[in-house]
Amino acid sequence: MSRIKEFNLPDLGEGLTEGEILAWLVKVGDTIELNQPIVEVETAKAAVEIPAKWAGQVRAIFHPEGTTVEVGTPIIAIDTDPGAGPLNDPSTTAAPAGDLPTPSAASLAAVEVAPAEGMVEPGLIGGPAPGGRTAVLVGYGPRTTTAGRRPRKNVVPAPAPAAAPVDHGAVVGDKATATPTIPAPQAHDRRDGANGGGAGRAVAGGLVLAKPPVRKLAKDLGVDLRALSGSGPLGSITREDVQQAARWAVAVAEPVAATSTATSAASFGADREQRIPVKGVRKLTAENMSRSAFTAPHVTEFLTVDVTRAMKALERLRSRREWRDVRVSPLLLVAKAVLLAVKRHPMVNSTWAGDEIVVKEYVNLGIAAATERGLIVPNVKDAGRLSLRELADALNDLVQTAKSGRTSPADMSGGTLTITNVGVFGVDTGTPILPPGESAILAFGAVREMPWVHKGKVKARQVTTLGLSFDHRIIDGELGSKFLRDIGDFLADPEAALLAWT
CA atoms within 13 A on the CB side of 101: 22
The Cα 156–Cα 202 span in angstroms is 11
The Cα 477–Cα 470 span in angstroms is 9
Q: Nearest 5°: phi and psi at 333?
A: -70, -35
Per-position b or e across 319-352, b if 16+ CB within 10 A of its CB: eeeebeeeebebbbbbbbbbbbbbeebeebbbbb
The Cα 152–Cα 149 span in angstroms is 9
Annotated active-site residue 472? The verdict is yes
Instruction: Calculate the CA 277 to chain-centre distance.
Output: 11
40, containing H or E segment: strand 37-42
The Cα 432–Cα 285 span in angstroms is 13
Give CB contacts under 8 A, 24+ apart, made by 175-183: 182/227, 182/228, 182/229, 183/228, 183/229
Q: Nearest 5°: phi and psi at 57?
A: -125, 135
Q: Are 443 and 417 in contact (CB under 8 A)?
A: no
Per-position b or e across 221-245, b if 16+ CB within 10 A of its CB: bebbbbbbbbebeeebbbeebbbbb
* Dihedral sign, Cα of residue 490, residue 493, residue 496, residue 499: positive
**In sequence order, which residues have a C-beta less than 8 Å from that of residue 86 and are 6 or more positions away?**
none
Per-position b or e across 19-53, b if 16+ CB within 10 A of its CB: bbbbebbbebeeebeeeeebbbbbbbbbbbebebb
Closest by Cα among 464, 429, 425 to 447? 464
Closest by Cα among 501, 241, 219 to 384? 501
Instruction: Calculate the CA 465 to chain-centre distance.
Output: 30
| Bridge partners (DSSP) listed for residue 469 | 300, 441
**477-492 and 330-344 are packed helices; what angle lies between their axes, rounded to 10 degrees?**
140
Catalytic, out of 168, 298, 345, 472: 472
370, containing H or E segment: strand 369-371
Q: How many CB atoms lie within 10 A of CB 456?
A: 6
- Active centre residues (catalytic): 472
